[in-house]
Structure 1
Amino acid sequence: MNLRGVAAIYRFEMARWRRTLWQSLVAPVITTALYFLVFGSAIGSRMSDMAGIDYGSFIVPGLILLSVLTQSISNASFGIYFPKFTGTIYEILSAPLSPFETVSAYVGAAATKSVILALVTLLTATLFVDVEVQHPALMLLFLVLIALGFCLLGFFIGLLANNFEQLQFVPLLVVTPLTFLGGVFYSVSALAEPWRTVTLVNPIIYLVSGYRWTFYGVADVPLGASILGMMLTILVPLAAITWIFRTGYKLKN
């Protein structure tokens, strides 16, 4: 494995992230802090507990994922699309790097950014509400797997995109609405039928539920279903990326 080549791309992506730190880290944290102020403090003080948990604390895992999912897709998609836009993608393809090494470098850098964002957001949440993490090791593992899956999805989107507008379509018009409807601000058990059943069709509910379980030990769906959902978020885009590198579709032509 060409570790030097992987490290070069990884360092380049992290350096680009540091140059745009306000947009990549500070802005999402400020936005999430506003959610805590509005929903956690202002509205949360007037709402009853959710699944026996204070409402402000209940929404913390969901708000963390709300930032992580959108930023994972944006970071990974822009990271690979920009070389396509400038034409330097051909230098990467001709370099002594396998497709696995190329994907590992770009997705690894994007996932690192997402995990840092999540941890900073978690620290920010402790300033507003009481946060308990019952399973810290599993919390980190779930976070890394979820970030990895959506970074792979973002990488796939970056390979397919023809312009910068298409990079924002999925995170803004698909992922964000699904996340809001995926149990970030409520428990599925609080919904009446048929909405409770309809919500279970949303794949984001399985990620949010599993991640919330690592905090408070409560979940809206079985933990096994959440683990299966996380595995699918990794395997499906990975299979699509593998197909693109094998065929060269939207990559070499």
Structure 2
Amino acid sequence: MNIRGIYAIYRFEMARTGRTLLQSIVSPVISTALYFVVFGAAIGSRIQQVDGVAYGAFIVPGLIMLSLLTHSISNASFGIYFPKFVGTIYELLSAPVSFAEAVIAYVGAAATKSIILGIIILATAALFVPLRIEHPFWMLGFLVLTAVTFSLFGFVIGIWADGFEKLQFVPTLVVTPLTFLGGSFYSIDMLPPFWQWVSLFNPVVYLVSGFRWSFHGTADVGIVFSVAMTLAILAACLGVVWWIFKTGWRLKN
């Protein structure tokens, strides 16, 4: 394996974060702080507890997951789309770096940025609400697994997109609504039975539920189903990435 090649691409992508620090880190943290002010203070004063957890603490996993999903996709999609846009993708394809090594570098950098952002948001949340993490190792596991999975998803979107508008289409119009409707700010047990059943078709429900379980020990769906759904999305993304590089779709043409 070409470790030097992987590290070179990884370092280049990580350096881009330093040049866009306000957009990559500061803006999401400020947005999350506003969520705590609006939802934690305004709504939290009317909803004292959900599943025995203070509402301000209850929404922490959902807020972290919201930022993690959207920024994992955005970081990875832009990272691979920009070389296509400026034409340097051909240098990558002709370099002594295999397809797997390129994916490891780009996805690894995007996932690292998202994990750093998630940890910063977690620290920010501790300033507003008392945090309790019952299963810290599971929490870190879900954080890393989700970041890697949706960075792979973003990598696919970056290859599929043929314009900057398409880069924002899926995160803005698909992932964000699914996250809001996936129990980020409420328990699906609070919904009528029919809508509880409908919510189970939203894959984000399983991600948020598993992540919340690592914090509070309560979940809308079983932890086994949450892990299985995350691994299923990961496997699907790996399969699509393998097919893209095997066929050269949207890369060589």
Partner of 1:174: 174
Q: Does structure 2 retain, via aligned residues, the 8 Å contact 1:41–1:128?
A: no
Code of the residue aligned with 1:171 in structure 2: it is P
Distance 1:53 1:81 in 2: 42
CA distance in 2, matches of 1:233, 1:102: 20
The TM-score normalised by the length of structure 1 is 0.99
Instruction: Return the letter of the residue paired with 1:112.
Output: T
Q: What CA distance in whole angstroms lies between the structure 1 residues aligned with 2:8 and 2:64?
A: 29
Write the distance in 1 (CA, Å) between the matches of 2:63 and 2:161: 28
> Which residue in the other structure is 1:136 paired with?
136
What's the offset of the Cα at 1:140? 0.6
**Whole-angstrom CA distance in 2 between matches of 1:77 and 1:15:** 16
Q: How far did residue 219 of structure 1 move?
A: 0.5
Distance 2:252 2:213 in 1: 43
Structure 2 residue 98 is the aligned partner of structure 1 residue 90: no
The two structures have a TM-score, normalised by structure 2, of: 0.99
- Percent identity, please: 62
Q: CA deviation at 1:137?
A: 1.2
The range that moved more, 41-50 or 220-229, is 41-50
2:51 aligned partner: 51
The equivalent of 2:101 in structure 1 is 101
CA distance in 2: counterparts of 1:158 and 1:232, whole angstroms: 21
Q: Distance in 1 between matches of 2:30 and 2:80?
A: 27
Distance 2:73 2:87 in 1: 21
Alignment RMSD (CA, Å): 0.6
Alpha-carbon distance in structure 2 between the residues aligned to 1:12 and 1:182 = 34
* Matches of 1:233 and 1:130, distance apart in 2: 32
> For residues 82-114 of structure 1, what are the alpha-carbon distances to aligned partners after superposition, in whole Å with 9 as ceiling and x for unaligned?
000010000001111111100000000000000
User: Aligned pair 1:216/2:216, yes or no?
Assistant: yes
**SS of match in other structure, 1:96:** coil
Q: In the TM superposition, what is the alpha-carbon distance from 1:64 to its structure 2 partner?
A: 0.3
Partner of 1:30: 30
Contact 1:146/1:233 (<8 A) preserved: no
SS for the counterpart of 1:185 is: coil
Runs of 4+ in 1 over 3 A off after TM superposition: none
Q: Which runs of 5+ in 2 are unaligned?
A: none
Matches within 5 A, 1:1-253: 1-253=1-253
What CA distance in whole angstroms lies between the structure 1 residues aligned with 2:79 and 2:45? 41
Q: Which amino acid aligns with 2:30?
A: I
Partner secondary structure for residue 221 of structure 1 = coil
1:153: Cα distance to partner?
A: 0.3
Structure 1: segments with no counterpart, 5+ residues: none
| Alpha-carbon distance in 1 for matches of 2:138, 2:200 | 23
